[in-house]
Amino acid sequence: MDSKQIEQIIEDEGIEKYRAEQIRQAIFQEHASSFNGITTLKKDLRERLSEKYPLLSFELYRLFESSDKTTFKALLKLSDGKIIETVLMNPKPGHWTTCISSQVGCALACTFCATGTMGLLRNLRSEEITDQVLFWRQFIGERKIAERLNNVVYMGMGEPFQNTKNVFDSLDELMNPDTFHMGARHLSVSTAGIVKPIYQMADRFPQVNLALSLHIADDEKRTELMPINKAWPLAKLAEALTDYIEKTHRKVFIEYILLRDETDKRDNAKQLIKYLKTIKPTHLVHVNLIVYNETESSHKQTSKDHARWFKNYLEENGISATIRKNLGRDIDGACGQLVVQQENI
């Protein structure tokens, strides 16, 4: 459900226009799960709308909860029967973040990512993207596990910048003061490195956070891990990120996955430092180090001690870095694990 659909329902059903605000308030602020729960509407109207218009563009297929109750993963069945995944995480007390999908599957075939094994089935519509946020808002309200959802990250299934129109439309909706009313700085978009939308995002959404999945600073090896690098090599990415920083004056986040004996060696760290210093100003570049979550690929996980060494080495050489806290491993909800078995789709 989004602002456009509410306007269409008001028009199609001949409802008084002032009712639109009552509906928006109930759905987006009070987290009603159906029109039947909007008590400001007359009973017969509630029943009619509830029968005709579901508030979500999908239904819950399965829900998983981590043993420490810091992570929830939902499998959502779309209207055409396809399945997507979305995750709700509690990385620190009082803060809840959702990782949402922008496509069913992914076409990029990054060798370390489970979603890439699916291939691309289709793009998600803007409403299907924002409904993931609405779903978790309803979930938080029903479970009473938090006061609110703090952050939204486009880092689930799919490459957001291969679905730019719907992703950008969904960002507009999430920032719409009449509906989701989220601040731009609470939204983040992660890309594997499609250049043109980086320039577009700098112009259209200068306050939304940008993350680049880099993972290695060597063109030949990056192309092996991420075939997309062949079309948009490292030099092109550096130009786009420098332009982004010049226009927005915002920090850029570099996602770097630590694969044992592949991306975690001293030479890899030196290459990364050299590369990041070509992005100006370098103090606005921050590296998120990710300890790999092993899937069915041949890649192996680096040790936590070695990850700490890698982080310290970057910092000693002037690069800001953190090690991302991996949540939801026991429910396959962590980075690189979002995948749905083909028989479920």
Catalytic residues: 85, 335
129 within 8 A of 100, measured Cβ to Cβ: yes
- Write a three-state SS string for the chain: CCHHHHHHHHHHHCCCCCHHHHHHHHHHHCCCCCHHHCCCCCHHHHHHHHHHCCCCCEEEEEEEECCCCCEEEEEEEECCCCEEEEEEEEEECCEEEEEECCEEEECCCCCCCCHHHHEEEEECCHHHHHHHHHHHHHHHHHHCCCCCCCEEEECCCCCHHHCHHHHHHHHHHHCCCCCCCCCHHHEEEEECCCHHHHHHHHHHCCCCEEEEECCCCCHHHHHHHCHHHHCCCHHHHHHHHHHHHHHHCCCEEEEEEEECCCCCCHHHHHHHHHHHCCCCCHHHEEEEEEECCCCCCCCCECCHHHHHHHHHHHHHCCCEEEECCCCCHHHCCCCCCCCCCHHHC
Residue closest to 198 by CA, chosen among 136, 244, 165, 234: 244
Tokens 């973040």: give the residue: 97
273 within 8 A of 307, measured Cβ to Cβ: no
Euclidean distance between the first and the last CA atom of the chain, given in angstroms as a whole number: 23
192 within 8 A of 159, measured Cβ to Cβ: yes
